[in-house]
Structure 1
Amino acid sequence: MGTFLANKALTLISAVLLARLLGTEGYGKYAFAIAILNLITIPAQMGVPRLSMREIARSCARSEWALLRGFRRRALQMSLISTIVGAVVIGGGIFVFSDGLEAFDAMTFAAALFLLPLFVGLALASSFLRGLRKVVHGNWPNNVLQPALFVVFLFAMAQGLSAPSAVLLNALSNAAALGVTIWLLVKYWPRETSAVEPEYRTSDWAKSLLPFSLLAGARLITQKSDIIMLGAMTSAASVGIYNIAIQAAALVAIPLSASNAVLAPNIARLHALGDMRGLQRLLTNTTMVVSGLSLIGCIILVGLGQWLLQLFFGNDFIGAYGAMAVLAVGQVINASAGSIGQFLSMTGHEKDTVKVIGGSAILNIVLNAILIPPYGILGAAIATSASLATWNIALSILLYRRLGLIAGPVGKFLAKRA
């Protein structure tokens, strides 16, 4: 929990610094390049980090050291090949077809490509550590050390900072975090693997990659499609202002994100015991707390939003208020359903989650295409909040059909009548 909260605080501090130092246009170029890069990481990772956690944990539990050594080698090979292909094919294609992207800056994106192998390597090394049950060691370099170093570098290089140099400072902080993560991985990697020949189940691993890739890709598209489409249709300044709206509204989502981080083991335990009443109590009680805290955060943002934007980000970013308010309301709607995605995933219904998130991603793209041209950043915010609400309604229906659980605070009353 401490790692999670530290990451949120450091991310917000870096956003404040970037907005202050780069201005609306420079920050927009930076945010647009990072958003595109995040989309490239989908094919570059191919779901390998998520698969790694499962396979490494399974191999260690069964003392299958030969298989563990073989998986590590295959995972590294797949990640290396896909990263090169992603950088050359997708990155090169974006350069070729970048004329229609209003917020695209060639120098900033070229600098961002240096981040691709660092993003992939850090995600992979972190997942290896989590698979070894070194969860804290797998999280703090990426979630605390990297953003902390980025903040320090921004302070140190404040004078004359540009969008490309900000991306390179980001790359430098990621490189340091990757170095520490690799050192920890070498330290904790099972020594038994060095005495065996590697064993491979490449076809089985390859088949398992598809659902992991689809889930990660759908989530990321849902999160980034508004920035990408806004940058393609409007200007870098609009992207910069909208990204601040996202960062501010994300504060409302902190209670739900924190809940998701700690609920998974309890959900799995109660489901294994067949305690459906316990699951309903867990869902209802956590939802009441999360939705209440989120509502308080939303009221503060809506009531004091313009003053807070001016205080922390400057006069140029006051225009983010309308989009921020809409996104904050969307996060309250999201929180009011509770951690329904976790409840479905941890009880064996992850395929339902993938389908709903995929449909939400498509809806988000369609709504952005319709609403951004006439309404700009406000249209992007409406599209994102609408797709988020639809996502939660669909998951709530599936949760009731699959498990008989009622989402939302009202579940406390409706469950008793059922």
Structure 2
Amino acid sequence: MTLPNFIRSMMSIGAINLIDRIVGIVIGICLARMLGVQAYGIYAFAMAFMGMLMIPARWGQPELLLRETAIAQVDAQAFDPSTFARTSGLFVLAVCAIAALLSWPVIAYRYADDGAMRHALYMILLVLPAYVLLDLACYGLRGVRKVVPAAWFVTPVPNALVMIGLGIFFLVDRLALNPTNALLLRCAALGLSALPAWLLLFRTLPLSSAAAAPRLRFAQLFRLGVPFMLLTASSVLMSRTDVFILGLFKQPADVGLYNVAFQAAVLVDLGLQVSNFITTQEFARYHASNQRDELQTFAIHSARITLVIGIAIFAFLVVFGRYLLGILFGHEYQSAFSIMVVLAFGKCIALLFGEPGFILNMSGNERTTVRIFGATALSNVALCLIAIPIGGPIGAAWASGLSLMVWRLLAWQAVRKKVGISCAVF
């Protein structure tokens, strides 16, 4: 992919992502205002709990499907992508069912005296399979270069449906929003989005010849998905450990403040999120075609573009963030400003190193990614366990930001060693 094509794709995906980000912020504002700090904290903790359950539930299948569908377009000996997608979907549903059966008694015992939290966590067990199935379909669409439809289905369409649901709660006086029915809205939106995404995927996937394509079994998916599952585990521990541990040690109100700050700080990664929709499959193709120079040029150019976008958004948040938090979310959330700045700063520095994790994964070095990401994620857990009891939400922000910077630095060094290229902006 040439740089002009990348920029054009990024602009089209960026427009979708910008709309989605605006809708996501509006949803966050509505939830924060309609639920209040305490109930919003319960909602945020439940979503963090789902993040932990996603570690086994996904079992690396979305990333694996993306890679195999991308490779199938240039390798006649690859797995049949239609069979792979169908078998992978059944596999994740089975894992979600097992996760729900194991989690139910734990939730019932741990939150026997907290009905609001218990019911919210029960609802998460229904949200989980809907989320994983939609995620799997969108990754498959990206693998066959249906990037724009994947970008629409992954969050804009579900978010639009959630907005409709919140509008109904707002307009109908007898309907009161609480964490449980807010999660029910999320579950319905994900399920309604997953159905057309899967239909489009099966209409698009190419077919390999039966003679050339190897057979596929659950045992193979289990084995092939382990490195990506471990990577997901590391990713979740990096991104959601702070919220989860904060909810264990502090009050739901602290979780609510932190989650608002986190949502705002994620804007720094807007360019990176848009870029990843385009670059991931291109990394796989460049490496499969042994185009190392083109891979390095593409990686550096995309990293520079995402850094410029990140710096601009960080500067905006520093100057106007406090006022926006008060105006949009309410004055009770203004104390989240310092947390937001710390989180945004860590994300901005991390952008200097590009996206080395995806390059390692798409070049067949996912085990290296797992080792680095796993070690960094475990250190993040340790830092959170130390910093959160002492510093609360601001301690969680410093622990999360430092861990993210270290991860990107180590992964960048691994790309130079394993792939033989540099993906940083310098």
- What TM-score, normalized by structure 2, do the two folds share? 0.84
Deviation (angstroms), 1:177: 0.9
Contact 2:347-2:401 within 8 A present in 1 as well = yes
Which of the numbers 143, 157, 179 marks the counterpart of 1:145?
157
Separation (CA, whole Å) in 1 of partners of 2:300 and 2:90: 44
Separation (CA, whole Å) in 1 of partners of 2:31 and 2:150: 27
Q: 1:263 to 1:200 in 2, by over 3 A?
A: closer
Which of the numbers 110, 117, 125 marks the counterpart of 1:105?
117
Match of 1:22 in 2: 35
Match of 1:415 in 2: none
Match of 1:321 in 2: 337
Separation (CA, whole Å) in 2 of partners of 1:243 and 1:12: 12
The residue identity in structure 2 corresponding to 1:211 is P
2:113 aligned with 1:78: no
Contact 1:74-1:202 within 8 A present in 2 as well = yes
The residue identity in structure 2 corresponding to 1:143 is T
Deviation (angstroms), 1:268: 4.9
Separation (CA, whole Å) in 1 of partners of 2:296 and 2:78: 40
Pairwise mapping of residues 128-277 of structure 1 onto structure 2 (< 5 A)?
Answer: 128-131=140-143, 133-158=145-170, 160-185=176-201, 187-188=203-204, 199-264=215-280, 266-268=282-284, 271=287
Match of 2:413 in 1: 397
Contact 2:39-2:252 within 8 A present in 1 as well = yes
Q: 1:76 to 1:326 in 2, by over 3 A?
A: closer
Match of 2:326 in 1: 310
Separation (CA, whole Å) in 1 of partners of 2:163 and 2:222: 38
Contact 1:41-1:86 within 8 A present in 2 as well = no
Q: In percent, how many aligned pairs have the same letter?
A: 29
Q: Which moved more, 1:161-170 or 1:343-352?
A: 343-352
Separation (CA, whole Å) in 2 of partners of 1:75 and 1:365: 30
Separation (CA, whole Å) in 2 of partners of 1:292 and 1:326: 19
The residue identity in structure 1 corresponding to 2:133 is G
Contact 1:226-1:384 within 8 A present in 2 as well = yes
Separation (CA, whole Å) in 2 of partners of 1:124 and 1:181: 9
The residue identity in structure 1 corresponding to 2:310 is S
Q: Deviations over 1:39-71 (max 9, x none)?
A: 212212222233333445566777789966654
Q: 1:55 to 1:295 in 2, by over 3 A?
A: closer
Deviation (angstroms), 1:312: 0.9
Separation (CA, whole Å) in 1 of partners of 2:92 and 2:282: 32
Q: 1:339 to 1:131 in 2, by over 3 A?
A: closer
Q: Deviations over 1:166-185 (max 9, x none)?
A: 11111121121123224434
Match of 2:131 in 1: 119
Separation (CA, whole Å) in 2 of partners of 1:405 and 1:331: 23
Match of 1:365 in 2: 381
**Secondary structure of 1:105's aligned partner:** helix
Deviation (angstroms), 1:392: 1.8
- What TM-score, normalized by structure 1, do the two folds share? 0.86
Deviation (angstroms), 1:303: 2.2
Q: Which moved more, 1:368-377 or 1:139-148?
A: 139-148
The residue identity in structure 1 corresponding to 2:54 is T
Q: Deviations over 1:256-311 (max 9, x none)?
A: 22233333455456556766555554444443433233222222212222111101
The residue identity in structure 2 corresponding to 1:335 is L
Superposed CA RMSD in Å reads 3.2
Separation (CA, whole Å) in 1 of partners of 2:151 and 2:278: 14
Q: 1:263 to 1:36 in 2, by over 3 A?
A: same
Q: 1:313 to 1:401 in 2, by over 3 A?
A: same
How many residues are aligned here? Answer: 406
Q: Deviations over 1:356-376 (max 9, x none)?
A: 111121011100000001110
Separation (CA, whole Å) in 2 of partners of 1:53 and 1:98: 38
Separation (CA, whole Å) in 1 of partners of 2:294 and 2:137: 36
Separation (CA, whole Å) in 2 of partners of 1:28 and 1:225: 15
Q: Deviations over 1:330-361 (max 9, x none)?
A: 01111122223233334443322222111121
Which of the numbers 45, 48, 60 marks the counterpart of 1:47?
60
Deviation (angstroms), 1:390: 1.0
What 5-or-longer segments of structure 2 have no aligned partner? 1-12
Deviation (angstroms), 1:139: 4.0
Which of the numbers 70, 84, 95 marks the counterpart of 2:108?
95
Q: 1:224 to 1:384 in 2, by over 3 A?
A: same
